[in-house]
Amino acid sequence: MKSNQAAASSEVNLSEFDGVRYLHLGTEWVQGSMRVAAPYDIDLEYVQRMMAWLLFVPPESVKGRHAMQLGLGAGAITKFCYKKLGMTCTAVEINPRVADVCRAWLRLPPEGERMRVVIADAGHEIQKDEWFSTVDALAVDLYDDDAAAPILDSAEFYADCRRLLTEDGCMTVNLFGRSASFERSLAQIVEAFGARAVWAFKPTREGNAVVLAQRTPTRPKRDALAAKAEAIEARWQLPARKWLKVFKALER
C-alpha cells in the first residue's frame, strides 16, 4: 500500500474503449469511469450500489441534502448527486491532478455554491469540526494506485465518518480488494457504527462488496423498501429493485 504522500503525487491517466472513458492512477487498474454519451449517469454497478442510501430517505427530501465523497475517482458519485439529485456536494481528494483531470476530461462541474472539491488527506479533513453532523450521504472509496486495499480502514476512521453524518445520514463503502479482507473491514465498520446499523450487498462479479452504515439504525419493512426502490428507479433510473435481491441487514 502506498503512503498518503505517494498517493498525492500519483500519475493520472485515461483510457477509452467502446464509448467509456476510464481513469487510472499510473497503472492498468480502473479507478473510475464515465460513459461519454451520458457523463452524469453512473456507469459501474458497484458505484450505483453506493447510492443505496436513497432507500432510507423520502425521495422528495433528497434535493438540497449534502453528499460527500472521499476519494474523487472519476467523480461519478459527485456528478450524479449534483446534476441528477440536486444535492450540495463536497469531494475530498488528496491528489490535485485527479481533480484537474476530472474537470478537463470527465465533466466534473465547476466549483460553486453547491460544489466544492477539497484537496486534502481525507482522514485528516473529516476530523474538522465544520463537517460534523452535516453529511447526509457519505461515499467512501479510498484505494491505492493498484486498487489492492483501502488506504483508510480502521474503526477510528469509521468512527470519524459516523460523526460526519446527520441523524438519518448513511455511509456507503466500497470494500473491493485483492489483498483486503472483507470480514476484517466489516468488523471495523461494526465497531464504529454497531451491527444493527450495517447493511451489505453481495459482491459484484468484479468483486466489489459495498457496505452501508446508518447513523441511526432503522429496519424498514420489505414492502416499504420495495416501494422506495420503485420510486428510485422511476425518478433516477437506478436499478434499485435489483439491489433488494442482493442487499440485506447484517443483523436482523
pLDDT digits 0-9 by tens, 108-157: 999 999 999 999 999 999 999 999 999 999 999 987 655 556 788 899 99
**How far apart (Å, rounded) are the C-alpha atoms in residues 209 and 203?**
4
**How far apart (Å, rounded) are the C-alpha atoms in residues 71 and 86?**
20
Q: For 7-43, what is each residue's pLDDT tens digit? A: 676 789 999 999 999 999 888 888 899 999 999 999 9
105-109, 148-152, 190-194: least confident range = 148-152
233 pLDDT higher than 80:
yes
Torsion angles phi and psi, residue 181, rounded to 5 = -100, 120
Contact 181, 148 (CB under 8 A): no
190 pLDDT higher than 70:
yes
Of all helices (H) and strands (E), which one includes residue 20?
Answer: strand 20-24
